[in-house]
């Protein structure tokens, strides 16, 4: 009996392009084997098979746009046609800056032809974010439908064209071009394909860097007492199978600081004349995975204590490493934290993950002599690097936010207030 395998629940996404078919007719597949790969605005995801069987017929092709319930293929073998499909397992999403793809406020596109273009709502939204006029694009999808990759290719070609010979790579928006160089004249070279994540995130990173006037404020927080308390909690947590890291405390402190300085938790309204004040505190954090950096989001961090934050950090980090994050796990952040503390460094400039207006960077803490008014004493100091959108946040506000953060981290008891 033929078994229908359909697209499972993939969150709030619809009209998601199929970027690769992972099986062919005649293949024997087991339950949970990946069948196709989809690429949404938030993530690349593999759709697994719901039951075992032999592929009898494939009903989709690369470039097709699919939503939940769309028929993928027919299987021959044991199983039920209405067997529930497992949830899709997204691979890491495009990394927000500097580890994930930011989303900027839509650029105005006024060409009358834009509204007549043959494209899905999600592709239209993506084109508006990049400021790309769909009327100028020839779609390669079914019946000339404009796909997301067509918009990306058009953006890249218009922002960074390379001449056929002796040409130059242009930065776009009137920025002087970078001359193309034949590096083979100096030694052996080879072209290495960039990972898909970097290909996807490149235009968005470029857009954010060009559109957001970045400024970075650096500060240091004394975490001597905080870290001693963290170690006590971590020792107890190991027995329960989770860890308590500094990031849990930084999230807790950040939420308190965001409540005091609400502009840092806001977004710029598309009309540019207002700020969107947010009453929720969803905190994104960088997670290093074999496939690249992704940004899971802890929702309603203001309602969670250190233990709950630590458990959720561990669970989301594990899902990220295993490529099992869903779209909802990586969306909706109002503020992001990028921690490089496990690697090193003294400071850096993270790129604002627009439409957020600020991002906090952490590097490795260090013991340093600090004057207490009478003598130098050894204290554990944590570097903080806050990058912010200067349109929404001025230097004084950024300094006050970091001062609040420093104050909260200086005494763990203040986090309980």
Q: Does the CA dihedral 91-96-101-107 come out positive or negative?
A: positive
For helices 224-238 and 306-321, what crossing angle results, to 10°?
70
- As annotated, the residues of the chain forming the CATH 2.40.50.100 domain(s) are 2-91
DSSP 261-324: SGGGG-EE-TTSS-EE------EEE-EEETTEEE--EETTGGG--HHHHHHHHHHHHHHHHTT-
> What average pLDDT values come out for the chain (417 residues) when binned by 10 residues?
86 80 90 83 76 92 90 77 45 40 42 62 70 83 75 70 39 66 93 73 77 95 96 94 96 98 96 93 90 87 96 94 84 94 90 94 96 96 97 96 97 88
| Topology of the domain covering 2-91 | OB fold (Dihydrolipoamide Acetyltransferase, E2P) (2.40.50)
Residue 104, pLDDT score = 40
Measured between alpha carbons, how far is 237 from 259 in angstroms, rounded to an integer?
29
DSSP 354-371: TTSSEEEEE---EEEEEE
pLDDT for 90 = 46
Superfamily of domain 94-174+193-211: E3-binding domain (4.10.320.10)
- Looking at the annotation, which residues are catalytic? 390
Helix axes 121-130, 148-159, angle to 10 degrees: 10
- Regarding the domain delimited by 214-416, which CATH topology (the fold level of the hierarchy) does it fall under? Chloramphenicol Acetyltransferase (3.30.559)
Distance in angstroms (rounded) separating the CA atoms of residues 82 and 7: 12
Q: What's the CA gap between 56 and 81, in Å, rounded?
A: 14
Quick check: bond before 133 cis, omega within 30? no
pLDDT at position 342: 82
pLDDT, residue 397, reads: 97
What does the block give as tokens for 371?
């004057």
CA 361, CA 378: separation in Å to the nearest integer? 24
Q: What is the DSSP letter of 376?
A: E
* Backbone torsions φ then ψ of 277, nearest 5 degrees: -85, 125
Residues of the chain with CATH 4.10.320.10: 94-174+193-211
pTM: 0.64
Token readout for 64 is 């097709």
pLDDT of residue 212: 93
């Amino acid at each position: 009996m033929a078994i229908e395998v359909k697209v499972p629940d993939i969150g709030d996404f619809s009209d998601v392009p199929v970027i690769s078919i992972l099986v062919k007719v005649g293949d024997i597949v087991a339950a949970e084997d990946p069948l196709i790969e989809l690429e949404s605005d938030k993530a690349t995801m593999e759709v697994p098979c719901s039951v075992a069987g032999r592929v009898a017929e494939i009903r989709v092709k690369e470039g097709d746009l699919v939503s939940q319930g769309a028929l993928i293929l027919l299987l021959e073998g044991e199983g039920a046609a209405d067997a529930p499909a497992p949830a899709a397992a997204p691979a890491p999403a495009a990394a927000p800056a500097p580890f994930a793809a930011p989303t900027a406020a839509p650029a105005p596109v006024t060409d009358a032809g834009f509204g007549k273009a043959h494209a899905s709502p999600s592709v239209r939204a993506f084109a508006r974010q990049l400021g790309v006029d769909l009327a100028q694009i020839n779609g390669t999808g079914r019946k000339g439908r404009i796909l997301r990759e067509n918009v990306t290719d058009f953006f890249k070609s218009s922002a960074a064209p390379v001449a056929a010979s002796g040409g130059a790579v242009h930065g776009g928006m009137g920025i002087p071009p970078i001359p193309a160089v034949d590096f083979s004249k100096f030694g052996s070279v080879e072209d290495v394909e960039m990972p898909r994540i970097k290909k996807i995130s490149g235009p968005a990173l470029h857009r954010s860097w060009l559109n957001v006037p970045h400024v970075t404020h650096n500060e240091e927080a004394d975490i001597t007492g905080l870290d001693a308390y963290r170690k006590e909690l971590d020792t107890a947590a190991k027995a329960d199978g989770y860890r308590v890291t500094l990031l849990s405390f930084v999230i807790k402190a950040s939420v308190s600081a965001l409540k005091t300085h609400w502009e840092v938790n806001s977004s710029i309204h598309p009309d540019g004349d207002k700020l969107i004040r947010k009453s929720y505190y969803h905190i994104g954090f960088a997670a290093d995975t074999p496939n690249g950096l992704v940004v899971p989001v802890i929702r309603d961090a203001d309602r969670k204590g250190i233990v709950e934050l630590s458990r959720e950090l561990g669970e989301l980090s594990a899902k990220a490493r295993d490529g099992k994050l869903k779209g909802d796990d990586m969306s909706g952040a109002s503020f992001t934290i990028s921690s490089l503390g496990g690697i090193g460094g003294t400071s850096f400039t993270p790129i604002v993950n627009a439409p957020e207006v600020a991002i906090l960077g952490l590097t490795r803490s260090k013991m340093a002599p600090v004057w207490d008014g009478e003598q130098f004493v050894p204290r554990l100091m944590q570097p903080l690097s806050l990058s912010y959108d200067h349109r929404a946040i001025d230097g004084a506000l950024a300094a006050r936010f970091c001062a609040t953060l420093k104050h909260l981290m200086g005494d763990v008891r203040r986090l309980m207030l």
